[in-house]
């Protein structure tokens, strides 16, 4: 989704730039570096291990995880644990916008299947109507504060994915939303947010688990926050736009 005002846009961008620079300065990311990305942070494996020890993880059977490299260990851990994983098609640019990673039928090992390039080759794509309710959402972030307000890299796809799940009844009140990040990505300050932004319930870093404030998530898509170019580029939005606008 797009930001609703230039002021909010600029404030978010300034914070991203600061956190990206901080990560690069401390050598806390792997190549190609932090700038412009969901950072592939040093310690991502340890964060995934810490997440896998949590009750919310152990109880979850169906997980939605973003396709970024930072969350590759999370996807691999989920598949190794026998969990079903949904991962978005890049930029949601397909009529069936999610890959289904089912550990019972994958033809390759979990760590290999968890790589987004391999998933695109071996995993079937599914429509929202074919998906099961999601127990746990794992999201990548650039910055998150202790209230669970998060900033992604600015493209807005994570917000759309969560909104689509909510609108389809696949995101339930008990669904837990988590982000795995480096400790340097946790900020103490208020972060700008808009109506379509979702918050996280838990922050998991290589060294700690941080419970966040009351969860906030959309009930569905906010069409007035989407520009026409974004709608036309995402088939699932194009299909839905006519009856909803």
The answer to whether residue 13 scores a pLDDT higher than 70 is yes
Looking at every residue in the chain, the average pLDDT score rounds to: 92
Per-residue pLDDT tens digits for 59-84: 999 999 999 999 999 999 999 999 99
Give the pLDDT mean for 34-62.
97
pLDDT at 3 over 70: no
Task: Give bridge partners of residue 200 from the DSSP assignment.
Answer: none
Residue 242 has pLDDT above 50, yes or no: no
Quick one: average pLDDT of 164-180? 95
What is the mean predicted confidence (pLDDT) over 158-166? 94
Domains of the chain in sequence order:
6-244 (3.40.50.10420)
Distance CA 209, CA 183 (A): 10
């Amino acid at each position: 989704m797009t930001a609703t005002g230039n002021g909010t846009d600029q404030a978010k961008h300034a914070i991203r730039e600061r956190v990206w620079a901080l990560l690069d300065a401390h050598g806390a990311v792997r190549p190609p570096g932090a700038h412009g990305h969901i950072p592939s942070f040093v310690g991502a494996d340890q964060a995934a291990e810490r997440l896998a020890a949590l009750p919310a993880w152990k109880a979850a059977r169906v997980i939605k995880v973003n396709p970024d490299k930072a969350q590759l260990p999370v996807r691999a851990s989920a598949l190794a644990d026998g969990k079903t994983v949904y991962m978005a098609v890049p930029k949601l640019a397909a009529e069936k916008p999610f890959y289904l990673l089912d550990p019972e039928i994958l033809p390759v090992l979990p760590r290999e299947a968890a790589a987004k390039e391999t998933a695109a080759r071996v995993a079937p794509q599914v429509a929202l109507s074919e998906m099961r309710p999601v127990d746990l959402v794992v999201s990548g972030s650039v910055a998150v504060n202790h209230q669970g307000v998060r900033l992604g890299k600015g493209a807005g796809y994570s917000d759309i994915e969560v909104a689509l799940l909510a609108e389809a009844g696949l995101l339930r009140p008990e669904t837990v939303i988590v982000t795995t990040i480096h400790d340097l990505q946790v900020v103490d300050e208020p972060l700008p947010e808009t109506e379509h932004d979702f918050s996280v319930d838990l922050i998991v870093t290589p060294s700690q688990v941080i419970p966040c404030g009351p969860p906030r998530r959309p009930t569905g898509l906010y069409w007035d926050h989407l520009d026409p170019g974004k709608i036309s580029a995402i088939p699932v939005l194009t299909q839905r736009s006519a009856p909803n606008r």
